[in-house]
């Protein structure tokens, strides 16, 4: 099964002829993603080299291809517009790669796009290994399997997944939810979907300092999926207070967003927290052993 994304999901690329959009379109195609076209205003009617049609608007693209998924590569000032355009055209899942979208644009977008799941912004995307990749992750490090993974960071995801794959743990779906303060899909949203995915037998939740998404995730796990093995990780545990670290959301301000609070919450939910990414496969194996025992 996997969540959010499967082999048949029809995907369009918003910004398909831009530098990043064009580059990752080829990588996604190479991975096997069912990319049915893309959008660049003014280039409607043309095709890219690999043959996918380009449309002027998302509506035109959806009308012509029946796409349900979109991945967005546009400048930050155009991020909200791209998401609204996707929503108006009937897209049901939009992955927003764009970094730097103003938080208040996202507040408005989230409040007015009922019926469309947004992943990101400022995220590496989503991959259901062996099925489809809608994102900018390096596909070759992933491996089809039964571990679900959610993470606020891109490169840290790669680090962790690389370790999982090397240790023999394949993944059902990996979601990079993004590092911005306001994102479309939170840990809890993903956990809810993973909870009812029989293919996913264990989970890795890779959080970081800032906000309370990890605490919310821990509470959800405790209440709704106490029986599925979960391993946690918190990035930035050595950071001092008040420093914003790369992600607009990664900051300890006052008493919120501290690693102590997150580790404590995970602990209360029976979720072991790895001190370093390389510890995750071992902790996962232990949890699985306990669960099946």
Partner 1 sequence: MKLMEYQGKDLFRRVGIPTPRGVYATTADEVRTYVAEHPGSWVLKSQVMMGGRGKAGGIKFADDAQQGETLARELIGKVLKSVQNPDGEEVKSLLVEEKVDIASEAYVSIAIDRAAKKPVVLVTAQGGMDVEEVAEHDPDAIKKYWIDPAEGYSPYIGRQLAFDAKLPEGYRKAFPAVLGALYELFMDYGANLVEINPLVLTNDGRVIASDAKVELDDNGLYKHPDVAQWNKQSPADADQAAAVAIGLGMSNYARFEDEPGLPPKTVGTIANGAGLGMGTMDAVKNAGGGAANFLDIGGGAQAELVKNSYKLVTSDDRVKAMFINIFGGITRGDQVAKGIVEALSGDDVRKVPLVVRLTGTNAKEGLAILAEAGFVPVETMDEGAARAVELAKGAQ
Catalytic residues: 247
Q: What are residue 126's DSSP bridge partners?
A: 134, 175
Q: Which of residues 247-276 bind partner 1 (CB under 8 A)?
A: 247-250, 254-255, 275-276
CA 272, distance to chain mean position in Å, is: 22
Smallest separation, CB 35 to partner 1 (Å): 18
Angle at the Cα of 280 (from 279 to 284), degrees rounded to 5?
125
Nearer to partner 1, 148 or 259 (CB): 259
Q: How far is the CB of 280 from partner 1 (least distance, A)?
A: 12
State the minimum distance, in angstroms, from the CB of residue 179 to partner 1. Answer: 5
Q: Which residues, numbered 184-223, are part of the site for partner 1 (CB under 8 A)?
A: 186, 206, 208-209, 211-213, 216
Any idea which residue has 């906000």 for tokens?
A: 211
Identify the residue among 17, 34, 56, 201 touching partner 1 (CB under 8 A). 56
Q: Token digits for 173?
A: 């779906």
Is 51 an interacting residue with respect to partner 1 (CB under 8 A)? no
Q: How many CB atoms lie within 10 A of CB 74?
A: 23
* Count of residues of this chain found to bind partner 1 when the rule CB under 8 A is applied: 78
Nearer to partner 1, 24 or 131 (CB): 24
- Work out whether 90 is an interface residue with partner 1 (CB under 8 A): no
Residue 84 CB-density burial (10 A; 0-12 exposed, 13-18 middle, 19+ buried): middle
Is residue 115 within the footprint of partner 1 (CB under 8 A)?
no
Angle at 96 between CA 217 and CA 139, to 5 degrees: 85
CA distance 280 to 143: 16
Contact between 103 and partner 1 (CB under 8 A)?
yes
> Rounded to an integer, what distance in angstroms lies between the CA atom of residue 132 and that of residue 175?
12
Among 92, 181, 222, 270, binds partner 1 (CB under 8 A): 181
Write down the least CB distance from residue 75 to partner 1, Å.
10
Residue 156 or 231: the one with the smaller Cβ distance to partner 1 is 156
Give the shortest CB-98-to-partner 1 separation in angstroms.
10
Q: Do the bridges between strand 93-96 and strand 35-39 make them parallel or antiparallel, or are there none, so unpaired?
A: unpaired
For the chain, the 3-state helix, strand and coil shares in percent, each to the nearest 5, are 35, 20, 40
User: Smallest Cα–Cα separation from 13: which of 77, 96, 124?
Assistant: 96
The yes or no reply on residue 31 touching partner 1 (CB under 8 A) is: no
Among 49, 198, 240, 293, binds partner 1 (CB under 8 A): 240
| Under rule CB under 8 A, residue 26 binds partner 1 | no
Identify the CA nearest to 94 among candidates 194, 4, 3. Answer: 4
232 scored as a contact of partner 1 (CB under 8 A): no
For position 151 contacting partner 1 by CB under 8 A, the verdict is yes
């Amino acid at each position: 099964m996997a969540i959010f994304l499967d082999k048949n999901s029809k995907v369009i690329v918003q910004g398909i002829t831009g530098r990043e959009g064009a580059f990752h379109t080829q990588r996604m195609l190479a991975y096997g993603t069912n990319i049915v076209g893309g959008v660049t205003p003014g280039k409607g009617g043309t095709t890219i080299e690999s043959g996918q049609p380009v449309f002027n608007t998302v509506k035109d693209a959806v009308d012509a291809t029946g796409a349900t998924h979109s991945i967005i590569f546009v400048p930050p000032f155009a991020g909200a517009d791209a998401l609204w355009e996707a929503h108006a055209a009937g897209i049901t899942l939009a992955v927003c790669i764009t970094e730097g979208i103003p938080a208040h644009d996202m507040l408005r977008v989230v409040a007015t796009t009922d019926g469309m799941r947004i992943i990101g912004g400022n995220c590496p995307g989503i991959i259901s290994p062996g099925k489809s990749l809608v994102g900018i992750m390096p596909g070759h490090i992933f491996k089809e399997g039964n571990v679900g993974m959610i993470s606020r960071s891109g490169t840290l995801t790669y680090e962790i997944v690389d370790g999982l794959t090397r240790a023999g743990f394949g993944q059902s779906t990996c979601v990079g939810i993004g590092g911005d303060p306001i994102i479309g899909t939170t840990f809890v949203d993903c956990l809810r979907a993973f909870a009812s995915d029989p293919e996913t037998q264990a989970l890795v939740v890779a959080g970081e300092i800032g906000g309370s998404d990890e605490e919310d995730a821990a509470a959800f796990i405790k209440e709704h999926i106490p029986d599925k093995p979960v391993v946690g990780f918190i990035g930035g545990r050595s950071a001092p207070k008040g420093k914003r670290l790369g992600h607009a959301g990664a900051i300890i301000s006052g008493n919120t967003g501290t690693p102590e609070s997150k580790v404590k919450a995970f602990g209360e939910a029976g979720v072991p927290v790895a001190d370093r990414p390389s510890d995750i496969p071992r902790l996962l194996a232990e949890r699985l052993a306990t669960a099946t025992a």
